[in-house]
Amino acid sequence: MFKIKIRGIVMTKIKTLAIAPYNGLKDLINELAKERPELEVHTFVADMLDGVEIVKSIQEEHYDAIISRAGTADLIRGVSELPVIDIKLSVIDMMRAMKLAQNYFGTFVIVGYKSITESANMICQIMEYDVEVNTITDIYEIEGCLTELKNKGISLIVGDVITVNRARMMGFNTILVTS
């Protein structure tokens, strides 16, 4: 932290590392940071594994906190002693993605970490949607889950960044759940 003067008041500037899973969220974080003069934010775009590698490579004493989202935030907590602020996924975010998927002419499945699938399961229960929801607990489960879905004839995956990226590589159509 270092001190800045705002309207005659000396404040401590908070140095924050942000790991965003996609460019749109990076841009949003940077825009919001401009409105907060007490923050100095360094933002990177990275998926779960790359995000962890960025955190491992930084000098932790140069930052006061880390901002990330969902599974990436969970993994970062395992490798850093800094406080990790998780950008929560809202039910509205999930509903938006599900509405897009419902306009698709095939069957879709929601696949992701708990932060994605909790909201999806709640919406499916409340709205009485018959949608398959698969929760991933480890990055190494993704490929097997997607292979199984491909063999069942599924062609659209709704999910988080790491899942959607892997699904695209396997030939699926995808919808990313954005914050």
Give pLDDT, residue 115. 85
CB-CB contact of 159 with 110 (8 Å): yes
Give pLDDT, residue 17. 96
Strands, E, within the chain: which ranges?
A: 2-6, 9-20, 39-45, 65-69, 84-87, 108-112, 132-135, 156-159, 173-176
Span between the terminal Cα atoms of the chain, in Å: 28
**Crossing angle for the helix pair 142-151 and 161-169, nearest 10 degrees?**
50
CB-CB contact of 66 with 18 (8 Å): yes
pTM flag (> 0.85): no
pLDDT tens over the chain, length 179 residues: 445 455 555 567 899 999 999 999 999 999 999 999 899 999 999 988 899 999 999 876 789 999 999 888 988 999 999 999 999 888 999 999 999 999 998 899 999 988 889 999 999 999 999 999 999 998 899 999 999 999 999 999 999 999 999 999 999 999 999 98
CB-CB contact of 44 with 72 (8 Å): no
